[in-house]
């Protein structure tokens, strides 16, 4: 589904991603961990097409297409979804209105008729149950004055509405209380199918108890320096990153 | 910065939608401005002597006045002698009802999306259609007259209701009020007149659609709304003009009178031709609008969505004379490319316990300049006056300007005046967030801007709100930053 080869990206001339290689197949869940500032959000942003980042080398093939050639909105319409680490507030625009515009633009791209108000609301009701989100929240201005946890929950609700093929969850667990973490994870699991894939970026092994990954990767200084199964996450929880950092840094100085 | 500009350049402005014009056989005044011309206009309209004298008096005062220079707008001197002050479609006989109106004229309005056929119109809106210097048709006149409501062209009102005109004309905006108001008083052509008798709630929206068609012709309309005690009406004004290379002058005067417990809502969606991408052409919109809350507990509310015109100079105001009277001003002013807007309001608190509320949302894009200028004045005897002002500016790109000029003048210690102002930039982050959900950039801007202006758009009647939303998006197409 997704094939990232030797991806290099920089911002304002500073290289951040320095040769990422990653293969993701349909039906898989990949966890990406790594110390602060290692480039996890950058990778997510580059995949989503944020224009501040300049891709200096490498390629990204998504379902046979050269993803880097697509505009951010077309990537979304092709099925790439990013749950933001810091969701943005849009005053005066209700979630409902925002999502209706989004859903219908995605449908149009896929050659489907727009959903009328009734069908849209029916779909919304159905997806609201999935992440147990309150109707009241959705009639308010998008993310404005939402608590940290509410914002994250709303991201997953949007994901449910848009039914993406590749979902990238950037620290969706941070800010969620224990019950919300369960609910949101449960929602993500229900959305999982053999046709879609998920990348979860997280600092905490606990999330991976709920959303069980097939693979765990460690990102450090813009590279994937270690990959393994979910046991790797447990090991990291126990030992921290120092042993990996040391290994990588000593190798670099040799 | 480079990024913002990049996105700005990436879009090219959408063409102005109403830029076409038609050729009609015109009945027009000779070019120029002098007492003969004024007599010509007055004679053409078969006006009574007193009105001609009123015009001439205004003209003579105007000659002694200077064009105001304090507004934050710049434009070359307008050659007022090079303009035509009256132009109207030639009609062999005066149409008595809609069926007799020249179908070609009705077609002009149809092309603008205004159907004047009463059967086909949305119920609930009566329209007075003004083309250049005359009103060509007014709908639902009969329905309204059964309630005692007068809704007709100004010229007709002069003939049919001379006492009312004599009583109220110039009573809110004196003929010598300012340079443009004096000019308008001398040469005004047509506009609408609304009279709501005591205790009547007008059951439909009253609206005037102004269309400038002729080249090189100024439009000087005059609107007068009189709401007697305990009456209510909601009035809408819409305007468009053809795309021409020369600038055109539009200098209107609107007067509103509200009696005890009366309420008038006045909404404008101004979409005059703004000039092209390079700042060529466009309407100079110099307008004086003022309402008086004459009676206790009366209320006047101005809502404006200003998207057009090359230069806008406009300050719809309220004189809060009656005790407990309320004045409101809700405004969205959008400027793009080389447009300049200097707009705001004046709230003059005279009565006790008067309240005013100002919500102004400026949106600037391109190389435009957008200024809010507002005055809150509390007179000596206005005990417990209250004002709340909220002035927000939204910038798109970094070559435009937003300015706020609040003037506060308080002469009574019990007054409470609050002023809040914010300036924000439309965020890259917001646009990217929308993009990431599959929303194209132009639609993202439309969403964000409409969200920003929501408090004002919510004041508009339903059908107008939808139109205004589209208009905002259209005006800003090609201007993301
Ligand atoms: N405009 C910029 N100029 C220079 N460096 C930047 C810029 N923006 C981001 N960076 C740097 O890029 C690096 C990677 O940031 P990124 O947000 O991808 O880290 P992360 O792995 O997601 O961290 P966290 O775990 O804290 O979320 C950081 O060192 C950050 O400071
Ligand atoms: Mg991050």
The whole-chain average pLDDT of chain A stands at: 93
Contacts with A98 from chain B: Cβ below 8 Å: 434, 437, 439, 447
* Best CA proximity match to A168, nearest among A52, A84, A50, A55: A84
Selecting from B430, B440, B455 the residue whose C-beta is nearest the C-beta of A73 gives B440
Instruction: Please give the average per-residue pLDDT across B352-366, as a whole number.
Output: 93
Chain B: nearest CA to A12, how far in angstroms? 11
A164 lies within 8 A of chain B by CB: no
pLDDT digits (tens, 9 = 90+) for B246-277: 777 888 999 999 999 999 999 988 877 777 78
| pLDDT band with cut points at 50, 70 and 90 for residue B371 | confident
pLDDT at B5 over 50: no
Beta-carbon separation of A93 and B451 below 8 A: yes
pLDDT at A237 over 90: no
pLDDT digits (tens, 9 = 90+) for B295-343: 999 999 999 988 887 888 889 999 999 999 999 999 998 888 888 888 8
CB-based contact, A79 to chain B, within 8 Å: no
> B428-436 and B441-452 helices cross at what angle (nearest 10)?
120
Q: Is A11 in the pocket of ligand 1 (CB under 6 A)?
A: yes
pLDDT of residue A253: 62
Say whether pLDDT at B12 is over 50. Answer: no
Q: What pLDDT is stored for residue B3 in this prediction?
A: 39
CA dihedral B203, B204, B208, B209 (to 10 degrees): 180
Domains annotated for chain A, with CATH where assigned, are: 2-200+211-230 (3.40.50.300)
**Which band of pLDDT confidence, cut at 50, 70 and 90, is reported for residue B95?**
low
Q: How far apart are CA A75 and CA A105, in angstroms?
A: 12
Helices (H), chain A: 40-48, 72-78, 95-109, 117-131, 135-139, 148-162, 178-191, 205-210, 230-239, 242-253
DSSP B30: P
Q: Is the CB of A39 under 6 A from ligand 1?
A: yes
- Band of the pLDDT at B426, cuts 50, 70, 90? confident
Whether pLDDT at B112 is above 80 = no
Distance A201 CA to ligand 2 centre (A): 8
Q: Are B19 and B243 in contact (CB under 8 A)?
A: yes
Structural tokens at position A21: 């290689």
User: Is the Cβ of A105 closer than 8 Å to some Cβ of chain B?
Assistant: yes
**Residue B436 CB partners (closer than 8 Å, separation 6+):** A48, A49, A72, A73, A75, A76, A81, A82, A84
At residue B76, the pLDDT reads: 83
CB contact under 8 A, B435 and A76: yes
Mutation for B interface: A81, A101, A107, most B CBs within 10 A: A101
- Residue B45 scores a pLDDT above 60: yes
pLDDT recorded at residue B20: 62
Contacts of B430 in chain A (CB under 8 A): 88, 90
pLDDT for A76 equals 97
Closest-CA residue, ligand 1 atom 19, reads A37
Residue A211's SS3 state is: coil
pLDDT in tens, B68-81: 888 888 888 888 88
Report the pLDDT value the prediction gives residue B6, as an integer from 0 to 100.
36
In angstroms, what CA-CA distances link B300 with A64, B57, B97, B293, B327?
Answer: 62, 30, 32, 7, 5
Contact A102 B448 (CB under 8 A): no
Cα dihedral sign, B174-B178-B182-B185: negative
Residue B91 has pLDDT above 50, yes or no: yes
Q: What is the pLDDT of residue B402?
A: 87
pLDDT for the residue B240: 65
Q: Mutate one of B7, B422, B435, B438 to test the A interface: name it (highest A CB count within 10 A).
A: B438
What's the distance, CA A156 to chain centroid?
10
| A134-149: pLDDT as tens digits | 889 998 999 999 998 8
Please state whether B46 falls in left (phi above 0), alpha (psi between -120 and 50) or beta.
left
Convert B109-146 to b/e letters by CB count within 10 Å (16 or more is b): beebebebebeeeeeebbbbbbbbbbbbbbbbbeebee
Share of chain A above pLDDT 70, in %: 99
A61 three-state secondary structure: strand
What's the number of CA atoms in the CB half-sphere (13 Å) around residue B41? 30
Q: Which of A76, A87, A90 sits opposite B438 (nearest CB)?
A: A76
| Residues facing B209 on adjacent strands | B129, B238
Residue A30 Cβ inside 6 Å of ligand 1? The answer reads no
Q: Taking CA atoms, what residue in A is nearest to B7?
A: A51
B136 Cα to chain A: minimum distance (Å): 40
CA of A45 to the centre of ligand 2 (A): 10
Closest C-alpha among B214, B218, B157 to residue B187 = B218
From A9, A10, A12, A37, give the residue whose CB has the most ligand 1 atoms within 8 Å, as the site to mutate. A37
Range with the largest mean pLDDT of B128-142, B147-161, B347-361: B347-361
Quick one: residue B95, left, alpha or beta (phi over 0 = left, psi -120 to 50 = alpha)? beta
Per-residue pLDDT, B309: 77
Percent of residues, chain B, with pLDDT higher than 90: 43
CB-count burial class (<10 Å; 0-12, 13-18, 19+) for B102: middle
Contact B236, B464 (CB under 8 A): yes
Q: Is pLDDT above 70 for B122?
A: no
List % helix, strand, coil for chain A (3-state, nearest 5): 45, 30, 30
Question: Hey, is the C-beta of A92 within 8 angstroms of any chain B C-beta?
Answer: yes
Q: Is the model more confident about B39 or about B309?
A: B39
Distance of alpha carbon B86 from alpha carbon B252, whole angstroms:
14
* Chain B residues touching residue A49 (CB < 8 angstroms): 435-436
pLDDT of residue B125: 65
pLDDT of res. B88: 77
The Å distance, Cα B480 to ligand 2 centre, comes to 27
The SS3 of residue B143 is: helix
Per the CB < 8 Å rule, is B437 touching A99? yes
| CA of A12, nearest ligand number | 1
Q: Taking residues B404-409, report their average pLDDT.
A: 92
Residue in B429, B436, B448, B450 to test binding to A, most A beta-carbons within 10 Å: B436
Ligand nearest to the CA of A42: 1
Cα(B263)–Cα(B294) distance, integer angstroms: 11
A73 vs B: CB within 8 A: yes
Residues near B222 by Cβ (< 8 Å), separated by ≥ 6?
Answer: B154, B184, B188, B189, B190, B191, B252, B253, B254
Residue B364 has pLDDT above 90, yes or no: no
Q: Is the pLDDT assigned to residue A175 strictly greater than 90?
A: no
Mutate to test the interface with B, among A47, A92, A151 (most CBs of B within 10 A): A92
Q: How many CB atoms lie within 10 A of CB B355?
A: 19
* Structure-token pair, residue B255: 């007067």
CB contact under 8 A, B435 and A71: yes
**CB of B374 within 8 A of CB of B343?**
no
- Does the pLDDT of residue B99 top 80, yes or no? no
Q: How far apart are CA A87 and CA A100, in angstroms?
A: 18
Has residue A111 got a pLDDT over 90? yes
Query: The whole model's pTM is what?
Result: 0.82
The yes-or-no verdict on residue B1 having pLDDT over 60 is no
What is the reported pLDDT for B415? 96
Label residue B127 by pLDDT band (50, 70, 90).
confident
Residue-level pLDDT at A53? 94
Does the Cβ of A221 fall within 6 Å of ligand 1? no
CA distance A200 to A169: 5
- C-alpha distance from A158 to closest chain B C-alpha (Å): 8
B7 band by pLDDT with thresholds 50, 70 and 90: very low
Look at residue B42 and tell me whether its pLDDT is greater than 90: yes
The nearest alpha carbon in chain A to B453 belongs to A92
- Ligand 1 centroid from CA A37, angstroms: 5
What is the distance between the alpha carbons of residues B381 and B201, in angstroms, rounded to a whole number?
31
Report pLDDT for B480: 59
A187 C-alpha to ligand 2 centroid (Å): 22
| Tokens, residue B402 | 């937003």
pLDDT tens digits for range B190-219: 888 999 999 999 988 888 877 766 666 788
The interaxial angle of helices A95-109 and B441-452, nearest 10 deg, is: 160
Q: Which residues contact B118 (CB under 8 A, 6 or more apart)?
A: B98, B139, B140
In this prediction, residue A38 has a pLDDT band, given cuts at 50, 70 and 90, of very high
Say whether residue A102 is in contact with chain B using an 8 A CB cutoff.
Answer: yes
Q: Are B291 and B172 in contact (CB under 8 A)?
A: yes
Distant-in-sequence, close-in-space partners of A94: CB < 8 Å, separation ≥ 6? A138, A139, A140, A141, A142
Please report the pLDDT score of residue B4 as a whole number. Answer: 36
**pLDDT computed for residue B481 by the predictor:** 44
């Amino acid at each position: 589904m997704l094939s990232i080869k030797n991806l290099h990206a920089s911002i304002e001339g500073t290289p951040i991603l320095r040769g990422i290689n990653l293969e993701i197949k349909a039906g898989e869940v990949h966890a990406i961990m790594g110390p602060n500032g290692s480039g996890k959000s950058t990778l997510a942003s580059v995949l989503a097409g944020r224009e501040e980042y300049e891709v200096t080398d490498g390629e990204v093939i998504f379902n046979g297409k050269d993803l880097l050639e697509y505009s951010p909105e077309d990537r979304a319409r092709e099925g790439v979804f990013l749950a933001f680490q810091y969701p943005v507030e849009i005053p005066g625009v209700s979630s409902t209105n925002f999502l209706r515009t989004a859903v219908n633009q995605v449908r149009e791209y896929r050659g489907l008729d727009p959903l009328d108000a009734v069908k849209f609301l029916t779909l919304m009701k159905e997806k609201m149950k999935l992440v147990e989100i309150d109707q009241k929240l959705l009639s308010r201005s998008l993310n404005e004055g939402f608590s940290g946890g509410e914002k994250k929950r709303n991201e997953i609700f949007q994901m449910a509405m848009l039914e993406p093929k590749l979902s990238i969850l950037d620290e969706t667990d941070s800010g969620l209380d224990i019950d919300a973490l369960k609910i949101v994870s449960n929602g993500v699991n229900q959305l999982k199918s053999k046709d879609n894939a998920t990348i979860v970026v997280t600092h905490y092994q606990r999330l991976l108890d709920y959303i069980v990954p097939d693979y765990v990767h460690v990102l450090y200084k813009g590279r994937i320096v270690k990959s393994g199964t979910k046991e790797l996450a447990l090991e990291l929880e126990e030992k921290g990153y120092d042993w990996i950092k040391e290994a990588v840094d000593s190798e670099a100085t040799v | 910065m480079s990024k913002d500009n990049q996105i700005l350049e990436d879009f090219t402005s959408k063409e102005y939608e109403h830029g076409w014009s038609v050729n009609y056989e015109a009945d027009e005044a000779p070019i120029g401005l002098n007492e003969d011309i004024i007599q010509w206009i007055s004679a053409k309209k078969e006006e009574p002597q007193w009105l001609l004298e009123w015009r001439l008096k205004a003209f003579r005062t105007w000659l002694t006045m200077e064009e105001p220079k304090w507004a934050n707008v710049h434009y070359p001197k307008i050659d007022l002698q090079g303009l035509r002050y009256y132009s109207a479609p030639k009609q062999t006989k005066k149409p008595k009802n809609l069926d007799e109106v020249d179908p070609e004229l009705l077609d002009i309005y149809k092309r603008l999306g205004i159907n004047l056929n009463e059967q086909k119109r949305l119920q609930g809106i009566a329209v007075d259609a003004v083309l250049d210097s005359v009103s060509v048709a007014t709908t639902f006149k009969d329905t309204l007259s059964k309630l005692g409501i007068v809704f007709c062209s100004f010229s007709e009102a002069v003939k049919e209701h001379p006492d009312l005109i004599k009583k109220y004309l110039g009573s809110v905006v004196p003929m010598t009020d300012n340079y443009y108001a004096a000019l308008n008083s001398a040469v005004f052509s047509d506009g609408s007149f609304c009279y709501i008798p005591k205790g009547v709630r007008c059951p439909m929206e009253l609206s005037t659609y102004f269309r400038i068609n002729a080249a090189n012709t100024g439009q000087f309309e005059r609107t007068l709304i009189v709401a007697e005690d305990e009456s209510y009406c909601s009035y809408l004004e819409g305007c468009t003009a053809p795309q021409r290379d020369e600038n055109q002058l539009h200098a209107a005067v609107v007067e509103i009178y509200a009696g005890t417990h009366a309420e008038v809502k006045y909404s404008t969606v101004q979409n005059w031709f703004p000039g092209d991408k390079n700042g060529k052409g466009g309407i100079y919109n110099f307008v004086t609008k003022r309402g008086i809350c004459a009676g206790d507990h009366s209320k006047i509310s101005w809502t404006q969505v200003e998207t057009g015109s090359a230069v806008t100079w406009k300050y719809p105001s309220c004189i809060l004379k009656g005790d407990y009277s309320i004045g409101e001003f809700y405004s969205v002013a959008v400027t793009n490319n080389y447009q300049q807007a200097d707009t705001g309001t004046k709230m003059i608190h005279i009565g006790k316990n008067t309240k005013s509320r100002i919500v102004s949302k400026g949106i600037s894009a391109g190389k435009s300049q957008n200024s809010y200028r507002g005055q809150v004045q509390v007179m000596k005897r206005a005990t417990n006056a209250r004002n709340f002002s909220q002035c927000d500016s939204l910038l798109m790109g970094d070559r435009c300007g937003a300015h706020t000029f609040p003037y506060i003048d308080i002469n009574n210690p019990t007054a409470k005046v609050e002023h809040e102002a914010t300036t924000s930039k439309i965020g890259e982050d917001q646009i990217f967030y929308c993009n990431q959900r599959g929303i194209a950039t132009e639609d993202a801007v439309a969403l964000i801007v409409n969200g920003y202006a929501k408090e004002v758009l919510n004041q508009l009647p339903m059908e107008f709100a939808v139109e205004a939303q589209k208009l905002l998006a259209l005006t800003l197409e090609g201007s993301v930053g």
